[in-house]
């Protein structure tokens, strides 16, 4: 059945994506209303009008296929696109998605309990703004209820038409469960999973991406345990249900992009006990069965995590999927506690998007941006100017001859970075002032965040328990550390070159300065357990915290430090001239917290020793350490135990995160030449996995250049 569903999902829908038309038609019918209400009617119409698509082999209902339609003419399509192009900018910057709903509470309340909360709040609040918000919430939720009804009817109709008796039984069960859920909270695992995924489908209708499932093995566990004990569900059936949902997440490729739906397993409970359970292992089995780039699985690891759980995680990674990413509770929890959250909430944290730490259903959607740290070395050398990026002008930190010591140079760099962060934050503020919660409210999303209904406030307007956060993704830690170490050694320690000579070489992109470049490349490099250079990685993380700590979001929330880059280290490098580490102009900078490709020469143990030296409790967003192990390192039990021990040591040393590719370099090379042979080859990119042959060539090369550990290099 799963393979039959996979085949159905592989067929792209006919017609054009039409969600903005449904929004437009609902909005147009209520154009005289205040913006929040007119848009709520638009959202309700979006939930009601598209065809509820049921697959022949469905186990759980919910599909975006019904958003595709050929019935609308080009004129209305263009009008809808025009009117709703500013419906709410969907970017990392503006808190529009990248959110983990409070499914734990929503499943407990169910549809009727949530309706009751809305109605009770409407009775308690008399203010015009509050009542308007609650009415918008009710309008969207009523539309969602009608969506559930439509899927129930569609499943019933599909069951009548199918001749396959097994499918008929499953489709009738879907229809019955959906009917039940309209008037009752879920009682079974299947019903809980169905209501959760129907909600996720509604978010997909709205065009929201990176909507995390959160700690699925925690909030679904009681349903699973009860059903298994009562004999109405087996572990195999549970795996099939989860696999079907994971496969359907990947429907978003119909929209032309891969959705990063983060799912979290393992970790500690809110009370501080080990939360790993039987469902955690079944989730691992289900993602392995699905065998696609998504969902983006993350496993929380702590000192009481069993060897068995970590081993099962590594077995899934060994398939080449590149996930789960392994996250250290004993860094992430202290990092979040620094910002004043309640301990039980922090213990229950999950992830959104790639690796971003998040308190599910208790804070507004995630927001981050790109901060290109190596770029700001250039203005030191060229009187505030940059050589390649004409859009950025720094400050003049004085003549190079005036920087007599390494501390003088670091102080000049600090001033450049301090100014650059002020420019960054001004841009962030302007974007969020434009997309303010009054005109760009999110009544449906607010339902799934504590305590928007009770406070009668939008999720971005004080409704959430905690304020919003923002995290500049601070890129290029290795490029910066290596550059600072090279300057320290060759200019201030060995006194072989002056800063002016370094500047001349950078401006010439090392043409005519090949000897100098060779010496810069030979200087100590981050990732080799060398304190001379690693101290600058320590400085980097502390400096990023110094830069962001003075700022607050528009509702008073903190700025987190993120040591991450996604694949942005490649375009970021294109903005930068040559750097003092020997890197040439426009080449990629280092990715996330990883050493520069090819510069870690002392093995995996040296890498984890270097990467664990900075204090990553200062990086509440999170970080990424990309590592590549040859397949034999994970497919062989003895070698896998070595990798497992390495990870345990890394986490004991307070490393924050590690993610592993286990696809050989030879296969990656061949896939670039013969992509037709590797259509299903999945690799870990940076915070997410993807089909290798679908990646841009620059990203393929970036992955290919990562150092591959084979077990004879210090593991």
* Per-residue model confidence (pLDDT) at position 668: 82
626-655 CB burial, b ≥16 within 10 A, e <16: bbbbbbebbeeeebbeebbebbeebbeebb
Strands (E) located in 268-355: 296-301, 325-328, 350-352
DSSP assigned state of 276:
-
E strand or H helix at 120: helix 103-124
Please check whether residues 3 and 144 belong to one and the same domain: yes
Alpha helices in 321-405 (DSSP H): 329-337, 343-347, 378-381
* Per-residue model confidence (pLDDT) at position 633: 86
pLDDT at 269 exceeding the cut of 80:
yes
Looking only at the bridges linking them, the beta strands covering 368-372 and 471-475 are parallel
Q: How far apart are CA 510 and CA 502, in angstroms?
A: 9
Q: Report helix angle 189-205 to 35-48, nearest 10.
A: 120
Give a three-class secondary structure readout of 49-62.
CCCCCCCCCCCCCC
Looking only at the bridges linking them, the beta strands covering 626-629 and 708-709 are parallel
Please check whether residues 376 and 342 belong to one and the same domain: no
Q: Which domain holds residue 8?
A: 1-100+112-179
Q: What is the rounded average pLDDT of the residues 227-248?
A: 98
Banded model confidence at residue 680, pLDDT cuts 50, 70, 90 = confident
Question: What are the backbone dihedrals phi and psi of residue 402, each rounded to the nearest 5 degrees, phi first?
Answer: -80, -10
pLDDT at 673 exceeding the cut of 70:
yes
pLDDT at 715 exceeding the cut of 70:
no
pTM of the model: 0.94
DSSP assigned state of 382:
T
CA dihedral 261, 267, 272, 273 (to 10 degrees): 130
SS3 state at 218:
helix
pLDDT at 624 exceeding the cut of 80:
yes
Report the 10 Å Cβ neighbour count for 316: 20
Q: What is the rounded average pLDDT of the residues 589-613?
A: 94
Is the residue at 86 inside a domain? yes
For 479, residues 6+ apart whose C-beta sits below 8 A from its C-beta are 373, 374, 579, 581, 583, 589, 590, 596
Please check whether residues 663 and 704 belong to one and the same domain: yes
Of the chain, the end-to-end C-alpha distance in Å amounts to 42
C-alpha 418, offset from chain centre: 27
* Per-residue model confidence (pLDDT) at position 220: 99
For 136, residues 6+ apart whose C-beta sits below 8 A from its C-beta are 36, 37, 39, 40, 441, 443
Banded model confidence at residue 83, pLDDT cuts 50, 70, 90 = confident
Is the residue at 195 inside a domain? no
Question: What are the backbone dihedrals phi and psi of residue 122, each rounded to the nearest 5 degrees, phi first?
Answer: -65, -30
Closest CA to 711 of 644, 619, 635, 632: 632
The pLDDT tens digits for 144-174 are 999 999 999 999 999 999 999 999 999 999 9
Is the residue at 447 inside a domain? yes
Percent of the chain's residues with pLDDT above 70: 96
Q: Which residue has the higher pLDDT, 457 or 694?
A: 457
Is the residue at 63 inside a domain? yes
Banded model confidence at residue 334, pLDDT cuts 50, 70, 90 = very high
Banded model confidence at residue 274, pLDDT cuts 50, 70, 90 = very high
pLDDT at 91 exceeding the cut of 70:
no
Is the residue at 659 inside a domain? yes
Q: How far apart are CA 313 and CA 323, in angstroms?
A: 8
* Per-residue model confidence (pLDDT) at position 19: 87
Banded model confidence at residue 629, pLDDT cuts 50, 70, 90 = confident
Report the 10 Å Cβ neighbour count for 670: 14
Integer angstrom CA distances of residue 410 from 84, 407, 453, 506, 533 = 47, 5, 49, 18, 14
Please check whether residues 405 and 511 belong to one and the same domain: yes
Number of structural domains found in the chain: 3
Q: What is the rounded average pLDDT of the residues 532-554?
A: 97
For 107, residues 6+ apart whose C-beta sits below 8 A from its C-beta are 185, 186, 192, 195, 196, 219, 220, 223
pLDDT at 332 exceeding the cut of 90:
yes
Please check whether residues 290 and 379 belong to one and the same domain: no
Please check whether residues 671 and 607 belong to one and the same domain: no
Please check whether residues 577 and 712 belong to one and the same domain: no
Looking only at the bridges linking them, the beta strands covering 368-372 and 356-358 are unpaired
Banded model confidence at residue 206, pLDDT cuts 50, 70, 90 = very high
Contact 172, 155 (CB under 8 A): yes
CA dihedral 392, 393, 394, 399 (to 10 degrees): 130
Is the residue at 358 inside a domain? yes
SS3 state at 439:
coil
Q: Which of 578, 599, 624 delimits the end of a domain?
A: 624
Q: Which of 592, 624, 656 delimits the end of a domain?
A: 624
* Per-residue model confidence (pLDDT) at position 94: 58
Please check whether residues 710 and 615 belong to one and the same domain: no
Is the residue at 499 inside a domain? yes
Closest CA to 266 of 229, 228, 213, 304: 304
Q: What is the rounded average pLDDT of the residues 96-116?
A: 96
Please check whether residues 332 and 474 belong to one and the same domain: no
Rounded to the nearest integer, the mean pLDDT of the chain is 92
Q: What is the rounded average pLDDT of the residues 601-611?
A: 94
Banded model confidence at residue 712, pLDDT cuts 50, 70, 90 = low
* Per-residue model confidence (pLDDT) at position 256: 73
Is the residue at 202 inside a domain? no
* Per-residue model confidence (pLDDT) at position 495: 97
E strand or H helix at 150: helix 128-161
* Per-residue model confidence (pLDDT) at position 429: 82
* Per-residue model confidence (pLDDT) at position 85: 60
Banded model confidence at residue 95, pLDDT cuts 50, 70, 90 = low
DSSP assigned state of 13:
P
Please check whether residues 613 and 584 belong to one and the same domain: yes
Please check whether residues 687 and 596 belong to one and the same domain: no
Give a three-class secondary structure readout of 491-538.
HHHCCCCCHHHHHHHHHCCCCCCHHHHHHHHHCCCCCCCCHHHHHHHH
* Per-residue model confidence (pLDDT) at position 664: 75
Q: Which of 624, 651, 679 delimits the end of a domain?
A: 624
pLDDT at 92 exceeding the cut of 60:
no
Q: How far apart are CA 582 and CA 575, in angstroms?
A: 16
DSSP assigned state of 560:
P
Please check whether residues 320 and 413 belong to one and the same domain: no
pLDDT at 75 exceeding the cut of 60:
yes
Q: How far apart are CA 277 and CA 273, in angstroms?
A: 11
For 422, residues 6+ apart whose C-beta sits below 8 A from its C-beta are none
Banded model confidence at residue 86, pLDDT cuts 50, 70, 90 = low
């Amino acid at each position: 059945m799963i393979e039959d569903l996979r085949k159905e999902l592989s067929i792209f829908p006919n017609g054009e994506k039409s969600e903005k038309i449904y929004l437009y038609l609902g909005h147009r019918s209520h154009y005289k209303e205040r913006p929040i209400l007119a848009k709520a009617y638009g959202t309700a119409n979006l939930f009601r009008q598209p065809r509820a698509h049921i697959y022949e082999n469905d186990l759980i209902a919910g599909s975006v296929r019904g958003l595709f339609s050929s019935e609308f003419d080009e004129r209305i399509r263009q009008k809808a696109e025009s009117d709703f192009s500013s419906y709410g900018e969907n970017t990392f910057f503006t808190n529009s998605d990248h959110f983990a709903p409070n499914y734990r509470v929503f499943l407990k309340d169910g549809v009727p309990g949530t309706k009751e909360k809305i109605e009770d709040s409407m009775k308690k609040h008399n203010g015009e703004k509050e009542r308007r918000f609650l009415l918008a919430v009710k309008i969207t939720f009523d539309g969602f209820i009608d969506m559930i009804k439509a899927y129930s009817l569609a499943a019933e109709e599909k069951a009548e038409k199918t001749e396959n008796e097994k499918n008929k039984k499953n489709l009738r069960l879907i229809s019955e469960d959906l009917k039940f859920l309209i008037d009752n909270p879920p009682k079974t695992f299947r019903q809980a999973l169905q209501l959760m995924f129907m909600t996720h489908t509604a978010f997909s209708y709205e065009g929201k991406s990176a909507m995390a499932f959160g700690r699925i093995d925690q909030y679904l566990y009681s349903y699973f345990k009860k059903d298994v004990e009562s004999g109405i569900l087996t572990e195999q059936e549970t795996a099939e249900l989860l696999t079907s949902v994971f496969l359907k997440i990947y429907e978003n490729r119909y929209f032309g992009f891969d959705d990063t739906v983060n799912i979290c397993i393992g970790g500690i409970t809110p009370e501080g006990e080990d939360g790993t359970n039987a469902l955690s292992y079944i989730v691992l089995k289900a993602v392995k069965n699905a065998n696609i780039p998504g969902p983006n699985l993350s496993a929380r690891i702590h000192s009481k995590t069993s060897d068995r759980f970590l081993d099962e995680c590594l077995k899934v990674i060994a398939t080449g999927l590149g996930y789960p990413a392994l996250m250290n509770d004993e860094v992430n929890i202290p990092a979040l506690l620094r910002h004043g959250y309640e301990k039980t909430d922090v213990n229950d944290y999950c992830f959104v998007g790639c690796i971003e730490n998040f308190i599910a259903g208790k804070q507004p959607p995630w927001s981050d941006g790109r901060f290109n740290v190596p770029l700001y070395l250039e203005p030191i050398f060229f009187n505030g100017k940059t050589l390649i990026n004409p859009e950025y002008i720094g400050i003049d930190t004085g003549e190079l001859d005036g920087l007599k010591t390494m501390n003088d140079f670091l102080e000049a760099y600090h001033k450049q970075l301090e100014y650059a962060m002020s420019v960054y934050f001004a841009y962030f503020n302007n974007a969020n002032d434009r997309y303010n919660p009054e005109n760009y409210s999110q009544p449906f999303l607010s339902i799934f965040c504590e305590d928007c209904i009770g406070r009668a406030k939008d999720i971005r307007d004080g409704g959430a328990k905690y304020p919003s956060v923002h995290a500049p993704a601070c890129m290029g830690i290795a490029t910066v550390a290596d550059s600072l170490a090279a300057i320290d050694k060759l200019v201030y320690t060995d006194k072989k070159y002056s800063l002016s000579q370094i500047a001349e070489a950078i401006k010439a992109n090392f043409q005519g300065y090949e000897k100098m470049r060779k010496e810069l490349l030979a200087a100590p490099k981050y990732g080799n357990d060398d304190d001379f250079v690693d101290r600058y990685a320590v400085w980097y993380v502390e400096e990023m915290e110094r830069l962001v700590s003075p700022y607050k979001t528009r509702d008073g929330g903190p700025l987190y430090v993120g040591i991450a880059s996604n694949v942005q280290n490649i375009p970021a490098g294109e903005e930068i001239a040559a750097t003092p580490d020997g890197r040439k102009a426009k080449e990629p900078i280092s990715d996330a917290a990883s050493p520069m490709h090819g510069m870690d020469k002392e093995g995996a143990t040296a890498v984890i020793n270097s990467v664990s030296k900075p204090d990553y409790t200062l990086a509440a967003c999170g970080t990424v350490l990309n590592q590549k192990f040859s397949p034999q390192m994970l497919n062989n039990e003895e070698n896998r135990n070595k990798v497992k021990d390495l990870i345990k040591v890394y986490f004991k040393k307070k490393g924050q995160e590690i993610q592993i590719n286990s696809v050989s370099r030879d296969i990656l090379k061949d896939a670039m030449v013969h992509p037709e042979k590797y259509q299903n080859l999945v690799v870990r990119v940076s915070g997410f996995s993807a089909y290798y042959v679908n990646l841009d060539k620059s990203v393929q090369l970036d992955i290919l250049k990562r150092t591959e550990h084979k077990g004879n290099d210090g593991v």
